[in-house]
Amino acid sequence: MKKYTLAEIAEFLQAELRGDAICVVNGIASLDKAKQNQISFCAKIPGFASDAGKYLSITKAAAVILSSKDAERYSGNALLVADPYLSYAKLTNLFIEESKSKPGIHETAVVGQNCDIHSSVAIAANCCVGNNVTIGEHSVITANCVIGDDVKIGNDCHLYPNVTIYHGVQIGNRVIIHSGAVLGADGFGMANDNGEWRKIYQLGAVRVGDDVEIGANTCIDRGALEDTVIGDGVKLDNQIQVGHNVKIGAHTIIAGCVAVAGSTSIGKYCMIGGGTSFNGHINIVDRTIITGASVVGRSITDPGVYSSAVTVQPHRKWMKTVSRLLQLNDMAGKLYKSKGK
């Protein structure tokens, strides 16, 4: 179990320490669940309306990370910072528990010809690596991963079990790809031939920048002619569909179950809520925020916050709302007629 004094944590976070510097903590917990040997934080979590500060008076935490404006509300050990939620995020680096992979290629792994795999790379059991593959320093390929021909993987990458990388995909440095993700499958391209669908073979690939994280069971399709591109610092949640020729700008973050149709371009520093769907061949400007379950049918050219989903209502009220929506066209027609008279 990892343990740290508050002095060590304060130095790591560059925080102002108020209280017992030699107090030892061995974990992180929320204010309402924290035990006497844990540290907590008081912050508004993005996307949630609740005020964690209501628990300051009852928390059992050994110490709390909080802003100076909340310091007067709490008399216990405190670490004062400008952004408590960001400091909490940084602190998780100290308490993460991950098994260390030893460099080397497991005896059950299959590696193709003309590969350039650094000696510090770890390739686990039952992996299949194609021909002409490059894997950089200290990257880890865990069990049952499949890597196609001509793939390039940078330094310090981590592929979790059962990741599939199709041929020709390029992955930058410090990229994390979670289990079940598929990069480089064919995009959904079809042409109609007298009622029958003819497959359009996808001739592009996928390019992933540095410091990207791709969630479990997320699929990123290869481009039809040009590459599908995921920019530096992009964070993709679980179960996201990224269509062919999509471009996602640097440092954009996308929550789970989002679907992005082909040839859509999403700018830099965007935030996309879960369950949002994008039409194809549209452009989203930099620094756009789209709330969850929205339907984006056209380009967005001005940065801002956009929503389209109707929030949940009691069923009977919802049925009345739908009924009135269906009557709008008739009502508009009657209104126009009355004005004509």
Catalytically active residues, by annotation: 244
Buried-state track 218-228, b at ≥16 Cβ within 10 A, e below 16: bbbbbbbeebb
Q: At what angle do helices 84-95 and 6-13 cross, to 10 degrees?
A: 120
Answer yes or no: are the C-beta atoms of 272 and 290 closer than 8 Å. Answer: yes
Residue type, 259: A
Answer yes or no: are the C-beta atoms of 13 and 80 closer than 8 Å. Answer: no
| Count of positions (residues) in the chain | 341
Answer yes or no: are the C-beta atoms of 218 and 238 closer than 8 Å. Answer: yes
Per the DSSP assignment, residues forming a β-bridge with 229 are 207, 247
Question: What does the alpha-carbon distance between residue 212 and residue 229 come to, in Å, rounded to a whole number?
Answer: 12
Phi–psi pair at 57, nearest 5 degrees: -75, -15
* Side-chain half-sphere exposure of 326, counting CA atoms within 13 A: 6
Answer yes or no: are the C-beta atoms of 134 and 153 closer than 8 Å. Answer: yes
Question: What does the alpha-carbon distance between residue 270 and residue 253 come to, in Å, rounded to a whole number?
Answer: 6
In the chain, the N- to C-terminal Cα span, in Å, equals 82
Answer yes or no: are the C-beta atoms of 169 and 186 closer than 8 Å. Answer: no
